[in-house]
Structure 1
Amino acid sequence: MDWMSRECQRAWNETRRLYQSLRLPELSRLSGGFRLPEVPHLNGVPPLSLSAVPPISSRSLYRTYGPITGMVAHQLLAVNVMHPPVITRLIPKRDITNALLLMSFTGASLWLWRRPHIAGTLPSRRFPWVFLGSSMYVLGSVLMWAIIRSAIGRHPVICITLGLTSSTALTYSAIDYFKYLDKDFEPLEDVTDGTHNSDEEKYDLDI
């Protein structure tokens, strides 16, 4: 244990020194004002930077991190249904199928709740529509995976590959379909001239 503690402390010290050495003002001063060349945009999309990562808040939890967590849970659920031993090796003492179902359903519901073609409806319609869409997405996926698994038998590599591929394809198709429906509706927030109603709105990600 002492050896492990020393190694962890050494790794932390090296990481801290590396972080301190990468401070941009310090690099700029030492290099005489030298600046790295700008990375060209790919098809008009700016390169990913840490400034695009939203801070943790109640707003970002249900607008960004909630849907993303739901997508990850959907991938894990696919593996769990297609080849359960993979998940049971990671978490041997507890069955997390219901937890993955709930996380996938919650993430899909949070994403659907903000769709422009649903956001403008009355709550009496909005709640059942979101519930219906999320249920069809999650439970329909589980049914499809169960049928595929019974058809191809026990082939771990094939099962896992088909599970992850089908989960990705279903998620992409769902996002593309609802964005097609949303194109004739006004977005939930109308941001013009690069201004935002709050500091957190600039981090909103339209998945």
Structure 2
Amino acid sequence: MASAPEGKKKCCGKLGLKPLTGHNILYYYAPLQGVLSYTALSVNVMNPSLILRVFPKRDITNVLLINTLVGSGLYLYSRPHLQGVSNKKRILFSSFGAVSFSLGSVLVWAILRSIVPQNVALCTACGVGSGLALVKIGCAYTQHIDSLVKQ
């Protein structure tokens, strides 16, 4: 019979999740939550009426943006290519990357929104699809940069 921690490891492994440790919360779960906020932000920019139906009394754009910035910033901060840099520069570089990625994405979505026909389903699909594509490209890029670092 497996012990409780061993049982949790097996369950988390099957779900593709990592155990709850301080490191994993900061550098796995926070970036994961950032991706969820980023996806919701894409819908918010591409189809604001949909988000207003879910949250009619509050504009959640800033909350989604802050969560996106924190998640992507922590993701970049923990990358191997920044490990040899001072903490001040790691914070500066990861903040710059997070802001550039997030606000660049908002600009892409604003341009897409002006091009795509005003169809709720199409705008939502374009927002989510382009957001996930940008996340995938960004992850592939950082993994490539990390692969150039000699450990």
The TM-score bracket by the shorter chain reads 0.7 to 0.9
2:35 counterpart of 1:71: yes
How far is the alpha carbon of 1:154 from its aligned partner? 1.7
**Is the CA contact 2:12–2:19 (under 8 Å) kept in the aligned structure 1?**
no
2:134 counterpart of 1:163: no
**Is the CA contact 2:52–2:59 (under 8 Å) kept in the aligned structure 1?**
yes
Counterpart among 67, 72, 75 of residue 103 in structure 1: 67
Q: Deviations over 1:138-168 (max 9, x none)?
A: 0000011011111224211111111011001
Q: Deviations over 1:55-103 (max 9, x none)?
A: 4343321021100000010100000000011111111111100000000
Paired with 2:104 and 2:80, the residues of 1 have a C-alpha distance of 24
**Is the CA contact 2:46–2:113 (under 8 Å) kept in the aligned structure 1?**
yes
Q: Deviations over 1:161-195 (max 9, x none)?
A: 110110010000000011001013256xxxxxxxx
Counterpart among 40, 45, 51 of residue 12 in structure 2: 51
Paired with 2:79 and 2:24, the residues of 1 have a C-alpha distance of 16
TM-score (norm 2): 0.86
**Is the CA contact 1:116–1:186 (under 8 Å) kept in the aligned structure 2?**
no
Between stretches 107-116 and 143-152, larger displacement belongs to 143-152
The amino acid that maps onto 2:62 is N
- Which residue of structure 2 lines up, in the alignment, with residue 81 of structure 1? 45
Q: Return the structure number with greater relative CO, CA threshold 8 A, min gap 6.
A: 2
Paired with 1:186 and 1:144, the residues of 2 have a C-alpha distance of 34
Gaps of 5+ in 1: 1-23, 26-48, 188-207
Gaps of 5+ in 2: 3-9
Larger helix percent: 2
Paired with 1:158 and 1:54, the residues of 2 have a C-alpha distance of 35
- The two structures, once aligned, show a CA RMSD in angstroms of 1.8
2:105 counterpart of 1:141: yes
Counterpart among 80, 99, 117 of residue 116 in structure 1: 80
The amino acid that maps onto 1:50 is C
Paired with 1:165 and 1:97, the residues of 2 have a C-alpha distance of 19
Paired with 1:51 and 1:126, the residues of 2 have a C-alpha distance of 30
Paired with 1:151 and 1:57, the residues of 2 have a C-alpha distance of 44
